[in-house]
Amino acid sequence: MEYENVLLQKEGKIAIVTINRPKALNALNSDTLKELDKVIDEISNDNEVLAVILTGAGEKAFVAGADISQMKDMNVLEGRAFAMLGNKIFRKVETLEKPVIAAVNGFALGGGCELSMACDIRIASEKAKFGQPEVTLGITPGFGGTQRLPRLVGMGMAKELVYSARTINAQEALRVGLVNRVVAPEVLMDEVKKLANEIASKAPVAVKLSKQAINRGMQVDMDTAVIIEAEVFGECFSTEDQTDAMTAFVEKRKLEGFKNR
């Protein structure tokens, strides 16, 4: 399928999704969000894809936020609907049954920071800048920033960043736990692809169920969380991959690859 504002490329077991409005620093308008929605569906249905990379086109930005020119004249109901659209799609990214890595190549502000936080893992270039500048525009974060930021960096730091609208550089984002790693801009995509391929070489069902257990478990009490873990752990024993991998280990031979999806 062809998209205008989002690029979808496949490299072996990896899908690379690029938000592609570089002239507007990849700002998210409704059309771009709706295309992202379709791209995620396409990836979800593609059994060959085992890991996803999400990035922004151009040198300057990952995503510089939701589109301010589109939001400028919204009324209460339109504002709410726009937030619900963004949240629905970002939740789809978050719950996609394949790991998603954000390759943050530049500005990740507002909706851009929020999109990166809906991904499983964030790797940042030294040039990346993060922030939730919404209060400078008279609005609150609307695509998950008030919810995912405190879950990632803790309530105190999230409140500081949201209330002050302060933009932080990649090193500070690393220090507060917003990103996993900071790398030189010229090696960003190579590093992210290396990690994506490493993940894609593991048992897909086990990776998928690990994601599910972590995501679901983080939202419930520990007694419920360990039941979720036991459920997914048990489910792994219904796969040939578990039998094959454990048999290969016991027989001291290398497993050729995983079958189950």
Query: Could you list the active site residues?
Result: 114, 134
Which is nearer to ligand CAA, 86 or 204 (by Cβ)?
Answer: 86
Angle ∠(219,223,229) on CA atoms, nearest 5? 70
Q: Which of 43, 52, 125, 141 binds ligand CAA (CB under 6 A)?
A: 141
Site string for ligand CAA, 150-189 (x = CB under 6 A): ----------------------------------------
Strand 121-125 and strand 100-104: the pairing is parallel
Answer yes or no: are the C-beta atoms of 60 and 17 closer than 8 Å: no
Q: Which stretch binds ligand CAA (CB under 6 A): 1-9, 42-50, 142-150, 251-259?
A: 142-150
**Residue 103: burial class (beta carbons within 10 Å; 0-12, 13-18, 19+):** buried
Which is nearer to ligand CAA, 143 or 258 (by Cβ)?
Answer: 143
Which is nearer to ligand CAA, 80 or 194 (by Cβ)?
Answer: 80
Q: Which of 27, 96, 121, 170 binds ligand CAA (CB under 6 A)?
A: 27
Which is nearer to ligand CAA, 63 or 207 (by Cβ)?
Answer: 63
Should residue 68 be labelled a site residue for ligand CAA when binding is judged by CB under 6 A? yes
Q: Which stretch binds ligand CAA (CB under 6 A): 32-40, 48-56, 139-147, 151-159?
A: 139-147
Residues 248 and 102: their CA atoms lie apart, in Å, by: 34
Strand 168-169 and strand 129-131: the pairing is antiparallel
Answer yes or no: are the C-beta atoms of 50 and 200 closer than 8 Å: yes
Neighbours of 248 (CB within 10 A): 13
